[in-house]
Each structure stands twice: as C-alpha cells, then as structure tokens.
Amino acid sequence: MPLDKLFDEDVSGIPVLAVPNDEDTRFVIIHGVHRFVSLLSRSLTEEEKQIKIKIDVYCVGKSNFEVLLSSTTPISPGMYITKTAEFEFDRCHPELLSLLWDSYAKERNRKECHFTEKERAFILFHILKSRLDEQQRREMIHHCIQRRNIYMKLFTEGMVPKPSEMGTEQLGLFAFLMSPSTQKPLFLHYEKIPKRNRCHKNIFLVSLQNDVSCVLLIEELGSPKTQTSENKSDGNNRMMFLMCKSADEVPHGALVVTHKVIPNPSNLIGKDLTTVVLNALMTNELIGQLSKLGKSTDVVVSGVFAKKPFIASGSAIVQNGGSTIVTDNIGCLIRRLTNDQQSRKRKATDCNYQLCVVEGYVPPGLISEK
C-alpha cells in the first residue's frame, strides 16, 4: 500500500500515541502498530520522506505510561513478536481504560488484538465509573430505560458491542450498578459465574436486596469445593406436603415450596415462613417479596433445581459455605437448605418444618394436585 494511503485517516484511521508528558520523548503506540512496523521496514524515497502523518498524541501521566510501557514490545524492522505480557487493567486510571477501549473499538484487525470477555466487562465498569456520578448510577438502578440509553450511547461511540438477547456484553454495566461489596468478588470469580439466563442481572437484583448473602453466594461459586451434581440415590422425593387451598391457610413457621412466584405474598407476611421458589422468575419484584416475608438477618440461597434456577430465604435456611446446590431431588434440596454440615448424615426426608404448597402454585412433578 502506498505510504500516503497507509496513513490516510479516512482509510485506516489516525494513529494514536501515548506519552508520559510534554518533555519525555518516549511513547507507546496504542493504535497503528502494524503501520509503523511497515514504515520501519520500508526504504523510503525522498518524496515519501516529505509526507506528513497526522497523529493523535495523549499525555497520560507518568504512572499510567509506565503501566502501558511494561506491557509493550519495542518495534523494529521485520519484527517478530515473541514476548508475551498480561496487561494489568486494574492498575489503570479509568480515563486511560476509556482511551484503550476506544482504540480497540476502532481497530480493524480485531483478530490480532482483542480483549477477553472479563476484560471487556472490567473496562466497561470503569468507563461508567469515570463518566457517571452517584446520582446517575442510582437513576440507572431504578430505570431500565436509563440503562439502555447509557449503553446505546457507548455503542454509538463504538466502545461496546451491539446489545444481544443474552445481554452478556452488558455485565460490566450491571457490575457498576451492583452494591459495592458484590463488585469485587464478581470480577474475582468471573470465570465461575454462569453467563446464561441473564445471571448478571439476577446478581445485580439480589445484591441490592441482600448484599452480604450475594457476596457469600458468589464466593461459593468460586470455591474449589463447588459441586456440580447431587447424588440421586441420596434421598428421595417421598416427602409429605400439606396442600393449602390459599395463602391464608399456610401455617405459621412453615416451609413453603412454590413455582416461579410467591402466591399472594401480602397474606404471608408475619408468618415467619421459609420460602423456596423453584424455576424462579428472578425479578426485582420477587426479590423484594422474599425480603418482606422474612427478617433482615435471613439467609438468601440460590442454585439449580432440575436444571432451573431456584431461590430460597427464611429462618430455616442455613448458610453452608463451600458448595453450591445443584440437584433434581426435592429431598436433597430441602436437606441442603435446612441442615448444617454436621447434620449431613440425616435422611433427606427428615425435616423439622411443616412442608407446604399452595394450590395453583405447585411445582410440576412435586406432588399431584387434586
């Protein structure tokens, strides 16, 4: 490619350099590395030497520059890069992260230079943190339209991918909206957290209702002791449930198992119930209802039952650290939720609480409604 076309801003964009300050002659090429390597490898004619190249130069400060420099390789004619370096994004100022992300978004050859999913989430988190104040963050928490507008603004700037149905590209946005205590373990155990079924949004909703329990759940997912299955022979489904015709009939102190939603939650308040919602619709409304049914000290536990999400809360729930509940056996589920580690040898059908279901809200296959 002719030199004038190689650096034509309309063809390849404007190269971007970062420098520590106006006096320092060192620089890092953020955008346009391949073109500069090509330039060094050429024998230039006198005419080509007169061509002026337009370059954007950013003074990023000494500390930011040293972070950048530590993860770079000097360019040379005909170079072959053998050095590998892991860039430490958490050491960068949010404005520098924004610059790097903007450069990446405009880079044509993304196969040669890309961020991981975790890095993209982390960068989006810090971009929002640097651009928005606390009042704007709170508005986004309560208004989904505000969240969409902010994300679409970044999309039009070329800084984030187009929104997808799964929404995993917006994890950094929801991390920004989560309670502060949840944010750190979220990124620490990022690889262990499920990405399907908008799990990041569920974590965001739970963190707002009970930040402490949410942190414990994430740490359980990140624990090497996390189990992926439950022994089907350990317990059975032959448990005795009291069928209640309405929420009013649910006795005080019972353990209620329900499907997707909580039946008439206003009629259950004050009964000191333990509630287990199978195939739960993890909405803000459901999380709020759970918090109203119990005490502020109640433990919230979520996991997978019969390949569908469940959430449970109440005075009977025990926080057993070290494992996430994944089972398709209701007996095992009740035992794991209510028995501490020292009680694990008890039969799965043993339960000190009245088990109840409400007519019209019985999980499929649990018992036969009559």
Q: Render pLDDT for 261-283 as a digit per residue (tens, 0 to 9).
A: 999 888 888 888 889 999 888 77
pLDDT at residue 370 above 80?
Answer: no
Higher pLDDT, 49 or 223: 49
Higher pLDDT, 177 or 39: 177
pLDDT at residue 145 above 80?
Answer: yes
Backbone torsions φ then ψ of 67, nearest 5 degrees: -65, -45
pLDDT for 256 equals 92
Q: Say if residues 28 and 65 touch (Cβ distance below 8 Å).
A: yes
This model's pTM is above 0.85: no
pLDDT interval class at 89 (50, 70, 90): low
pLDDT interval class at 251 (50, 70, 90): confident
The segment with the largest mean pLDDT, out of 48-62, 74-88, 107-121, 208-222, is 48-62
Mean pLDDT of 101-116: 54
63-67, 75-79, 347-351: which has the minimum mean pLDDT?
A: 347-351
Q: Say if residues 279 and 197 touch (Cβ distance below 8 Å).
A: no
pLDDT interval class at 358 (50, 70, 90): very high
Can you tell me the distance from the alpha carbon of 165 to that of 255, in angstroms, rounded to the nearest whole number? 36
pLDDT for 258 equals 93
pLDDT for 275 equals 92
149-153, 157-161, 252-256, 294-298: which has the minimum mean pLDDT?
A: 294-298
151-155, 184-188, 233-237: which has the minimum mean pLDDT?
A: 233-237
Q: Say if residues 230 and 329 touch (Cβ distance below 8 Å).
A: yes
pLDDT at residue 9 above 80?
Answer: no
Paired sense of beta strands 242-244 and 255-259, if any: unpaired
Higher pLDDT, 71 or 129: 129
Mean pLDDT of 128-137: 86
CB half-sphere exposure, 171, CA atoms < 13 A: 26
pLDDT interval class at 129 (50, 70, 90): confident
100-109, 142-151, 283-292: which has the minimum mean pLDDT?
A: 100-109
Higher pLDDT, 295 or 320: 295
Higher pLDDT, 262 or 315: 262
pLDDT for 346 equals 43
Q: Say if residues 23 and 9 touch (Cβ distance below 8 Å).
A: no
pLDDT for 332 equals 84
Task: Name the β-bridge partners of 304.
Answer: 309, 326
Can you tell me the distance from the alpha carbon of 210 to that of 202, in angstroms, rounded to the nearest whole number? 12
pLDDT at residue 257 above 90?
Answer: yes
Mean pLDDT of 221-250: 62
pLDDT for 278 equals 93
Average pLDDT, the chain: 76
Can you tell me the distance from the alpha carbon of 299 to that of 319, in angstroms, rounded to the nearest whole number? 7
Higher pLDDT, 129 or 351: 129
